[in-house]
Structure 1
Amino acid sequence: MFKMIRIYVLIPLLLSAGLLLNMVSAGNGTGEVVELNIEGVIGPATDDYIERALQTAAESRAELVVIKMDTPGGLDTAMRGIVKNISNSAVPVASFVTPTGARAASAGTYILYASHIAAMAPGTNLGAATPVQIGGGAAPAKTDKAQDKNKANDADKSDKQPIAAADDAMKRKLVNDAVAYIRGLAQLHGRNEAWAEKAVREGASLPAGDALKMKVIDIIATGMGDLLKQIDGREVSVQGQKRILHTDGLTIRLLEPDWRSRFLSVITNPTIAYILMLIGIYGLILEFSNPGAIVPGTVGAISILIALYAFQLLPVNYAGMGLILLGVALMVGEAFEPSFGILGIGGVIAFVIGSVILIDTDVPGFDIDISVIIIFTVISALIFILVIGMAIRARRRPVVSGLEEMIGGEAVVKDDFDRKGMVSIHSELWQAVSDRPLHKGQSVKVTGISGLTLEVEPHNTSIEEKE
């Protein structure tokens, strides 16, 4: 009986212990580390990749996500999206600047500050986080000597002061916003706020060793294994809750960008988006000028829709896009109404200027290659001015062959007839109809064709047909 009682007591205890272990396992993760990679310029595709990867890591209840990073920076919108995803992640995130020689410049510095763990490999650096102004770079801070020199020249530049003041005000807004943003990230994870501000205001940079001494980062690690050993047992705050990391000896699972992120990476390349837009314009113009061709219209519609989607994610200057469309319209106008080159030259100039200013940022890696602009300017001029112009001129020429060529031609009546008879034209006999009586040898004009019957009317004069 006592044995039965013990069994009934032990069974609930064992079930409770098993449930508790499952809860702990669920809280601590599945015993794996998810590895992500950011290489090169940070853009919309990078933001999409990190967002999807963090969702996957959360669904698989991973213990940690490690973002290996080597970047010169990127777009502000993409960087802020990544920071939001990291801050709201249910899985702790460690940013690791690696391998030796890598950097986390500009946008990479913000991502490093936003991560739960900030790590760097020896021989790496971070910083230079001054925001790049849309349409131009932010000016560096002026030294006292430069300020004195500027004061001495103020009298000569009084007419430029309103413009300079407005420009300086915009730069101050950008810098102050960036300073507040990175200081907030530093406070969130207990990192060096003063140096973060210096990185923004002065574009300061630090090597890994100095960054560790100044509490800008948490760890210097030689590799993934070393990183996981050093952070094992470290406490981090995830969504406001404390969590102890258990990372030593965990398996590492690499998550590569999926097809969507790779496709997005291709089409959000400004040069690719620019080419797609022009292909779309060419295709639609060719379709409208030759209705029923189908292929140009289909390719053009798909290309221009993809380009518009890409431009939605990029910092586009719509004045530049307007100038490109104006340039195309002027070149087409030159083809329809020759103006001794005035419309064509104006169209080429508008096209080039619009192409240069289309992407409204100075962030490296987000500009359109000038050689591509030159090539497509020449192609556009040839297509719209020469090819379409030749096609229009050919269409306006009188018909010199076929049945239509006989309209307006001169025929000779073979025999007298009242309403219907035979006429000779181009040494051929044709049936003809006329609303007036006609006589043999009379010269008539062909006014229309109905099937194999000519519609004719008499000239004022007549000639005798030569036998």
Structure 2
Amino acid sequence: MKIKIIFFFLILIFIFSCPLKENYTNPKPSIYLLQLNGMINPITSQYVVGGIEDAEKEEAECLILQLDTPGGLDTSMRDIIKKMLNSTIPIIVYVSPPGGRAASAGVFITLASNIAAMAPGTNIGAAHPVAISEEKIDEEMKAKMVNDAAAYIKTIAEKRGRNAQWAEKAVRESVSITEQEAIEQGVIEFIAKDVNELIKIINGVRVNTASGTRVLKTEDTEIIPVKMSSKDLFLHSLTNPNIAYILLFLGIYGILGEFSHPGSFFPGIVGGISLILAFVAFQSIPINYGGLLLIIFGIVLFIIEIYTPTFGVLTAGGVTSLILGSFMLSKSTAPFFRISLGLIIAMSLSTAAFFIFALSKGIRIQWKKPVTGREGLIGKVGITKTVLDPEGTIFVYGERWQASTEGEIIKEGEEVEVLEVRGLQLIVKKCIRKE
């Protein structure tokens, strides 16, 4: 009987300790927040597509994509747009922060959203397609590219009920407008100073998704920031041509440091890693291999200069090759794939200044008067230990030497100056004291 009573109480404790079913059936709604800053490439495309998939699995109320981009690759942009147009949850694109922009591919992504918003002080537009390489494209091919992009952006704008006429002008004429002009022309729906204000504004808005019509309920929602993984952030940073260029120069300095001081290891390790990362970055950036070869040739000239000093000839050639290669390195006409002119000038001039400084030091050492050995005795002052008539002995530089004069007789104890070293004998003359 006691066992039955104890068992009964255990069942009651278990029932009352279990959470109510309501806690599972009515979870707090969530909003996924993604940030896309910089160039649109395969890394950022994977980040956005993955974020949308995760939000769909968790049945989030919506997903906000905070956007600030100069543009990017067409294939990566289309991957993002495909996912957005077929998403089962509402996608909100928010061009932010103030001073940010949605240019080129960013215009397409903004228009593909269920709700488009911008922060004060932002702009959108300039979606004219640009060839990645610098190879010449005939007028017929250019027309095909523009027509394809114009048709694509028009169908996106029409699907989302936005100003298709302006969208086409953004492609064909590269027009760009502010957030106020965008809302007046029906390009976006809202202006919000920050994400919190945007969430309040979109509460109750009706949108059409791939799963049907939904009314947003964003009041009292949990914001879930979705950040890039450390690996993706690192790979994304490598796609910046300026960072790739800096890594290339760090590699150059490291390798040169190892060659000039063999066995130090640290410069060589840092230089080798930097060079490898630079070449990894160049795989995702359209580069001119002629420019890269010029830079490598400049490195070779610097290394040869270290071992066979030519008093500046190889250094001048290396600096020239480095500068020309730097300007030729990027072969893209797209601004976000170009290396900063200021960075090229700064790095080239600093490299030139370093090697000119090192070269001048080397030349000074070559021409510097010896201070040790027999050559170092020339010009030294000694004291005669015997009469020089014309030969005798002197004491100079802490040592006793046989000495000879050129015809004159010098008494013992006089100061003499060394003029020449002939074998084991010094040629001297009497020091003339100035009264």
TM bucket normalised to smaller = 0.5 to 0.7
Give the aligned residue type for 2:112.
Answer: A
Aligned residue number for residue 237 of structure 1: 209
Residue 95 of structure 1 and its aligned partner are, at CA, apart by 0.7
Residue 236 of structure 1 and its aligned partner are, at CA, apart by 1.8
Gap regions ≥5 residues in structure 1: 1-17, 138-162, 395-400, 402-467
User: Which aligned pairs between 1:63-462 and structure 2 lie closer than 5 A?
Assistant: 63-74=61-72, 76=74, 79-87=77-85, 89=87, 91-98=89-96, 103-120=101-118, 125-134=123-132, 167-208=138-179, 211-212=182-183, 214-219=185-190, 224-225=196-197, 230=202, 232=204, 234-238=206-210, 241-249=211-219, 250-287=221-258, 292-336=263-307, 343-364=314-335, 366-378=337-349, 380-381=351-352
Change (3 A) 1:386 1:131: same
Instruction: Measure the CA separation in 2 of the matches of 1:171 and 1:387.
Output: 50
The answer to whether the 8 Å contact 1:332/1:384 transfers is no
Give the aligned residue type for 1:33.
Answer: I
Count of aligned pairs between the two proteins: 345
For 1:61-107, what per-residue CA distance to the aligned partner results, in whole angstroms no more than 9, with x for missing partners? 32211123344445556544543553455543111235666542323
Change (3 A) 1:172 1:344: farther
Aligned residue number for residue 399 of structure 2: none
SS at match of 2:132: coil
Instruction: Measure the CA separation in 2 of the matches of 1:360 and 1:89.
Output: 37
Give the aligned residue type for 1:119.
Answer: A
Higher mean alpha-carbon deviation, 111-120 vs 75-84, is at: 75-84
Residue 242 of structure 1 and its aligned partner are, at CA, apart by 2.0
Change (3 A) 1:136 1:302: closer
The answer to whether the 8 Å contact 2:250/2:271 transfers is yes
Residue 210 of structure 1 and its aligned partner are, at CA, apart by 5.2
Please report the TM-score for the alignment, with normalisation by the length of structure 2.
0.63
Instruction: Measure the CA separation in 2 of the matches of 1:186 and 1:340.
Output: 65
The answer to whether the 8 Å contact 2:312/2:359 transfers is no
For 1:200-219, what per-residue CA distance to the aligned partner results, in whole angstroms no more than 9, with x for missing partners? 10112345565456543345
For 1:257-291, what per-residue CA distance to the aligned partner results, in whole angstroms no more than 9, with x for missing partners? 44334434543332222121222234345546766
Change (3 A) 1:312 1:184: farther
Instruction: Measure the CA separation in 1 of the matches of 2:79 and 2:312.
Output: 48
The answer to whether the 8 Å contact 1:32/1:64 transfers is yes
Please report the TM-score for the alignment, with normalisation by the length of structure 1.
0.59
Aligned residue number for residue 34 of structure 1: 32
Instruction: Measure the CA separation in 2 of the matches of 1:332 and 1:101.
Output: 45
Instruction: Measure the CA separation in 2 of the matches of 1:207 and 1:281.
Output: 44
SS at match of 1:298: helix
Give the aligned residue type for 1:118.
Answer: A
Residue 328 of structure 1 and its aligned partner are, at CA, apart by 2.0
Change (3 A) 1:278 1:48: farther
Give the aligned residue type for 2:216.
Answer: H
Change (3 A) 1:285 1:124: closer
Change (3 A) 1:135 1:85: same
Instruction: Measure the CA separation in 2 of the matches of 1:277 and 1:237.
Output: 46
Give the aligned residue type for 2:214.
Answer: I
Give the aligned residue type for 2:289.
Answer: Y
Instruction: Measure the CA separation in 2 of the matches of 1:301 and 1:81.
Output: 35
Instruction: Measure the CA separation in 1 of the matches of 2:306 and 2:180.
Output: 65
Q: Structure 1 segments of 4 or more deviating over 6 A?
A: 382-386, 388-391
Give the aligned residue type for 1:108.
Answer: G
The answer to whether the 8 Å contact 2:114/2:207 transfers is no
Instruction: Measure the CA separation in 2 of the matches of 1:298 and 1:260.
Output: 21
Give the aligned residue type for 1:268.
Answer: T
SS at match of 2:147: helix
Change (3 A) 1:320 1:174: farther
Residue 233 of structure 1 and its aligned partner are, at CA, apart by 5.5
For 1:303-345, what per-residue CA distance to the aligned partner results, in whole angstroms no more than 9, with x for missing partners? 1222222222333333322221122223434555566755443
Gap regions ≥5 residues in structure 2: 1-20, 366-371, 373-435
SS at match of 2:127: coil
For 1:26-62, what per-residue CA distance to the aligned partner results, in whole angstroms no more than 9, with x for missing partners? xxx9611112334566566644543453344344332
